[in-house]
Amino acid sequence: MNNASPAGTAHHKAAVHKDAHHDALPDFDAVLAAAARIAPHAHVTPVLRARSLDALAGCELHLKAEQLQRAGAFKFRGACNAIWSLTEAEAARGVVTHSSGNHGAALALAARTRGVACHVVVPEGAVAAKVAAIEAYGAVLHRCAATIAAREARCAQVQAETGAELVHPYTDFRVIAGQGTAALELLSSGGAFDALVVPVGGGGLAAGTALSVAALSPRTRLILAEPSGAAETWASLQQGERVTQFTPDTICDGLRGTLGEPNFRMLHQHRAEVVKVDDFDTVAAMRLLWQRTKQIIEPSSAVALAAVLTRTDLFAGQRVGIVLSGGNVDPDALPELFARG
């Protein structure tokens, strides 16, 4: 991975903490350290262009293809950084997380690169193809009810029984720093961006992206694409405090999580903007991307392209980067999904 430190970044103080409740937040040096740490394991994914999509969007799109990342999503970046940040003693005890899919698969695969035991708590109703991937990468599965409270309780139980290190899907600072490497690569790919658009659920990718944008391209607007049926990030940033009481109603299964506390603080500080997207438009964007680029992405990824296509007024004539976050969609679900779009 050719992610040379840009001139002038040496003055940043590195601040990586595993404790998501620590006052100090991770900074851009943490992203640079993550880039170096994951370089032997993660792919540098391509940036795709499609003139026909540019014409429809009324702007110049640069699509960071994280669906081509290992385990099929950007999540491998954060998981890999977390795994290779462990001390030998921590690695010997293994890791545990809760996940409905992509983070669990990514952590299981990353753990395998270091020979670390991995436990994943999976909620009822998770996408079958994603659960199969978690298992295929060698994780021990633990089932629980489909609520955040149930996930966290089961995680704590597994931790107590095994001594495993918790690697939270989006509040873990090692994960946030790792996710920031996708934007680091995109922003280093040549030319300035007027806006960078990423999906937001728990906020790991969004917060990591904020670190890279602030350091490398502070004039670039960070736009978060969020399903209308799970728009608590939009509400939180509007109100200036986290909104946690909501019931998600969206096909974007990867974006149903509650925005994390450190993630909220980072996005609030960065003054990130949110575009809410209806599921209908997300599926239409997913179908369009497949037709025009022959790339398969999941709804939780397509929401970012949908945000640009439905709010062309925000991006007209601009150079826009989009992180296509993942491509782990269940093939059996595609006919029904596309029928909705």
Question: Per residue in 150-197, pLDDT tens?
Answer: 989 999 999 999 999 999 999 999 999 999 999 999 999 988 999 999
Instruction: Provide the pLDDT for residue 293.
Output: 95
pTM over 0.85: yes
CB burial of 124-157 (b: ≥16 within 10 Å; e: otherwise) equals: eebbebbbebbbebebbebebeeeeebbeebbee
222 has a pLDDT exceeding 90: yes
Q: In this structure, are 200 and 292 located in the same domain?
A: yes
14 has a pLDDT exceeding 80: no
Confidence band of 129 (pLDDT split at 50, 70, 90): confident
Q: In this structure, are 187 and 125 located in the same domain?
A: no
Length of the chain: 341
Q: In this structure, are 198 and 286 located in the same domain?
A: yes
Domain membership flag for residue 158: yes
Domain membership flag for residue 10: no
335 has a pLDDT exceeding 90: no
Q: Taking a C-beta distance cutoff of 8 angstroms, is the pair 191, 318 a contact? A: no
Q: In this structure, are 119 and 257 located in the same domain?
A: no
Instruction: Provide the pLDDT for residue 23.
Output: 62
Instruction: Provide the pLDDT for residue 198.
Output: 98
Average pLDDT over residues 203-224: 98
Q: Taking a C-beta distance cutoff of 8 angstroms, is the pair 25, 282 a contact? A: no
**What percent of the chain shows pLDDT beyond 70?**
93
Domain membership flag for residue 50: yes
285: containing domain: 28-73+172-340
Q: In this structure, are 155 and 260 located in the same domain?
A: no
Domain membership flag for residue 197: yes
Instruction: Provide the pLDDT for residue 5.
Output: 33
340 has a pLDDT exceeding 90: no
Per residue, the 3-state secondary structure of 161-228, as one string, reads HHCCEECCCCCCHHHHHHHHHHHHHHHCCCCCCCEEEEECCCCHHHHHHHHHHHHHCCCCEEEEEEEH
Instruction: Provide the pLDDT for residue 119.
Output: 98
Domain membership flag for residue 140: yes
The separation between the first and the last C-alpha atoms of the chain, rounded to the nearest angstrom, is 37
Q: In this structure, are 286 and 154 located in the same domain?
A: no
Phi, psi of 336 (to 5 degrees): -70, -40
